[in-house]
């Protein structure tokens, strides 16, 4: 085992349990079975999801077996990690649809053709009652209440459904079913991953190594990247939007994004960190490199530089982008050939409602051919709009046919 391989596989890890366990597993001299379980509770992936997927790809590239488990059974329960209340159960149809999308997007990071893909309904959906009783006997209620979110809900009188206690056990049983050597997950998954070690011991298997990775802060620089919080970069974002979002993160997150979201490698990231600290590397220039690198991972070589050029056109030179979607508004948008700017914003897809459009105007975020519109009741004629560019904020433009 090369020390460089170990350093790469350990890079970015928040914790490895037990300490030294990864080195010992690698010393076995055989391909290891590296498990990542994901519940398709939402259809789309963000850059935050790729942190563990990229680590799984690193193990693949080092010659190990990637075992990706789509939680088509456990997603119906809902992972209680970090939850202050019981999650509603998803339908089988929702899980199936989300799972298809998840696998397609996971293929942007890992080599799905070389991975072993399973749905955990394969072994859990038909579990006999005696087998379920055996699984439930692996741990105790006291052990479950050591988990912070369960303990907090118990102490504050918030309900905990019995099925939520079963979730970590079912996830642990996945490790038994695939004979996992290593399991990956975010730091919010630590309890579940350690439970996998207990379940494997109870079933006579050598316990897996647990490797957790940090949660990636979103664009606000504070909270975990999440679509529900609106602070995310989606893998399906267009190149220029992805680049612009990445340029908006706080400077002090650049190194973390490079370590967890790019292929620059631990030595290069360490060099960058030292350069940023001593002032030999300019923070903005390094952030640009980070943004270009990530865009090219998901949109191909050259996409990063092109996105940067379009970004500079809009943000440095304050020009409209070179590619603007063209819209042809239907006649019923206008009354006697005229319409308020708020109505036009909604019809052009730049606002979700008249209220949203009004707020955008009042906050100074709307321009027509470079002229800021300050009154929500500003009226414009249909013929006057032809060929003009309507802008909302810094990244959204349409041109009228």
Q: What is the mean pLDDT of the chain?
A: 90
Mean pLDDT of 150-174: 93
Confidence of residue 88 (pLDDT cuts 50, 70, 90): low
239-315 CATH fold = Tyrosyl-Transfer RNA Synthetase (1.10.240)
Please tell me the predicted confidence (pLDDT) of residue 202: 97
Please tell me the predicted confidence (pLDDT) of residue 320: 66
Residue 84 has pLDDT above 70, yes or no: no
Please tell me the predicted confidence (pLDDT) of residue 370: 83
Instruction: Pick 325-400's CATH classification: 3.10.290.10, 3.40.50.2300, 3.40.640.10, 3.40.50.300.
Output: 3.10.290.10
Q: Please tell me the pTM assigned to this model.
A: 0.77
Confidence of residue 75 (pLDDT cuts 50, 70, 90): confident
Mean pLDDT of 125-129: 95
Domain map of the chain by residue range? Answer: 3-213, 239-315, 325-400
Q: Which of 130-139, 208-217, 245-254, 323-332 shows the lowest per-residue confidence on average (mean pLDDT)?
A: 323-332
Please tell me the predicted confidence (pLDDT) of residue 271: 96
205 vs 71, more confident: 205
Q: Distances in Å between the alpha carbon of 91 and those of 78, 95, 182, 296, 328?
A: 11, 6, 30, 36, 40
161 vs 82, more confident: 161
Please tell me the predicted confidence (pLDDT) of residue 281: 96
- Of 21, 14, 10, 13, nearest to 62 by C-alpha is 10
Q: For residue range 238-277, what is the model confidence (pLDDT) as tens digits?
A: 898 899 999 999 999 999 999 999 999 889 999 999 999 9
Alpha helices in 62-161 (DSSP H): 92-106, 121-124, 129-136, 141-144, 148-155
Residue 310 has pLDDT above 90, yes or no: no
Please tell me the predicted confidence (pLDDT) of residue 86: 55
Q: For residue range 93-126, what is the model confidence (pLDDT) as tens digits?
A: 777 777 788 888 899 999 999 999 999 999 999 9
Superfamily of domain 3-213: HUPs (3.40.50.620)
Mean pLDDT of 382-401: 86
């Amino acid at each position: 085992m090369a020390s460089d391989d170990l350093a790469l596989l350990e890079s970015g890890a928040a914790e490895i349990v037990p300490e030294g366990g990864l080195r010992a597993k690698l010393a076995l001299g055989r391909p290891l079975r590296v498990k990542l379980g994901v519940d398709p509770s939402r259809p789309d992936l963000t850059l935050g999801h790729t942190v563990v997927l990229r680590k799984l790809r690193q193990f693949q590239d080092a010659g190990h077996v990637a075992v990706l488990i789509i939680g088509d059974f456990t997603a119906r329960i809902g992972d209680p990690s970090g939850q202050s209340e019981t999650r509603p159960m998803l339908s089988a149809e929702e899980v199936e649809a989300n799972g298809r999308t998840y696998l397609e997007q996971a293929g942007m990071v890992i080599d799905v053709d070389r991975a072993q893909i399973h749905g955990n309904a394969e072994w859990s959906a038909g579990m006999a009652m005696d087998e379920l009783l055996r699984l439930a006997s692996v741990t105790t209620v006291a052990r479950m209440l050591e988990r912070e979110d369960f303990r907090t809900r118990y102490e504050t009188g918030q309900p905990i459904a019995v099925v939520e206690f079963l979730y970590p056990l079912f996830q642990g049983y996945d490790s038994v079913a695939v004979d996992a050597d290593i399991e990956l997950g975010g730091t919010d998954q630590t309890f579940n991953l350690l439970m996998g070690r207990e379940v494997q011991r109870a079933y006579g298997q050598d316990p897996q190594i647990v490797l957790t990775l940090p949660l990636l802060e979103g664009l606000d620089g504070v909270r975990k990247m999440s679509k529900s919080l609106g602070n995310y970069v989606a893998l399906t974002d267009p190149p220029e939007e992805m680049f612009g979002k990445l340029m908006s993160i706080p400077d002090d997150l650049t190194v973390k994004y490079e370590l967890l979201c790019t292929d620059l490698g631990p030595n290069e990231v360490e060099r960058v960190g030292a350069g940023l600290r001593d002032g030999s590397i300019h923070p903005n220039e390094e952030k640009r490199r980070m943004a270009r690198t990530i865009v090219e991972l998901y949109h191909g070589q050259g996409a990063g530089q092109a996105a940067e050029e379009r970004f500079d056109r809009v943000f440095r030179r304050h020009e409209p982008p070179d590619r603007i979607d063209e819209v042809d508004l239907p006649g019923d948008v206008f009354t006697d050939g005229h319409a308020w700017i708020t109505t036009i914003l909604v019809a052009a897809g730049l606002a979700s409602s008249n209220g949203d459009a009004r707020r955008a105007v009042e906050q100074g975020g709307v321009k027509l051919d470079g002229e800021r519109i300050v009154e929500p009741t500003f009226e414009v004629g249909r013929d006057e709009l032809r060929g003009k560019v309507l802008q909302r904020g810094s990244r959204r433009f349409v041109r009228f046919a």
